[in-house]
Each structure stands twice: as structure tokens, then as C-alpha cells.
Amino acid sequence: MTTPDPDGLLAEQLLRLTRRVHRIQKHHLQERVEGVTPAQSRLLRTLAHFDEPPRMADLAQSLEVVPRAVTTLVDGLEASGRVRRVPDPANRRVIRVELTGEGRAALRELRGARRAAAVEILAPLTDRQREVLGELLDTLVGGVPAQGHRC
């Protein structure tokens, strides 16, 4: 009989949860915002965090993707009127990307879809369990091992 691998089991549970989260978010996204893919949604959310319209290279770096992937995403969002390319005022050879009014409206709908997905996913948990989960996720996201535990 083999010894159970607790870390392997946790890894599998995390992967299954991640797939479930993506599936539920995609469902809510399709209900609320027509024609926006999950990757485009991520680009819109990233774009909203910049104080001024970013360069394509800035978006690629923030999204941790190759610049060509950003070009493809921006092409689709520009075709739907959600973003537009604008020349950099200091260097006309540099192109920046900015949200349009339609892009800001889509972002509001996307936030609503994410909240609805979170409500659905977290529904089985009590308030205390949600609090503990939040603390655990903060630890995992921060990458700081729990006291007394070595990675």
C-alpha cells in the first residue's frame, strides 16, 4: 500500500478548484459581456490599473506574455470598440492603448461577472471559513511559508 502524498493531493485539489473557477467565471462572463474572451478580460482589467495609457510592451510585461499575444488581444478589443491605440505624445513612434467608454462599460460588467462567480464558488463556506480561506490565500499569494514550516 502506498503512503498518501498530502502535497500531491493539495496540488490536485488546487488544480481542480482553478478549473472550476475558470469554468464558472467563463459562464458568468458569457452571460454578461458578449464577445470578450477570458484573455481579453484579463487585458481589460490590467489596462484599468495603469494611471495613463500603457505601451503595448508594458501590457505584455504586466500580463507576463509575449508582445505578439498583446497585439492579438488588442486587435480584438479594438475591433469591438473597447480599446483604442493612441500615439504617445512624447514619441509618435510609440503606441499606447487606452480604454474607451465601451471598454469601461465592459469592465464594469466583467467585475459583476467575477463577483457573481465568487458568490457561487464561495456559497458552501461559512463566514469563518471564508476568513480563514482569505488568510490562507494571502499566505500562498505572498509566498511566505507558515512559521515552522520549510518548503
Tell me the pLDDT tens digit for each residue of 132-149.
Answer: 999 999 998 887 665 544
Question: Is residue 7 domain-resident?
Answer: no
Q: Which domain holds residue 126?
A: 26-139
pLDDT for residue 72 is more than 80? yes
pLDDT for residue 6 is more than 90? no
Q: Distance between CA 118 and CA 127 in Å, rounded?
A: 14
- pTM, full prediction: 0.74
CATH number at residue 42: 1.10.10.10
Question: Is residue 4 domain-resident?
Answer: no
Question: Is residue 144 domain-resident?
Answer: no
Task: Tally the domains of the chain.
Answer: 1
Question: Is residue 2 domain-resident?
Answer: no
HSE value, Cβ hemisphere, 13 Å, CA-based, for 82: 26
Q: Could you tell me the CA-to-CA distances from 86 to 37, 81, 96, 100 in Å, in that order?
A: 23, 13, 5, 11
Q: Which of 10-19, 37-46, 75-84 has the highest mean pLDDT?
A: 75-84
Question: Is residue 38 domain-resident?
Answer: yes
pLDDT for residue 113 is more than 70? yes
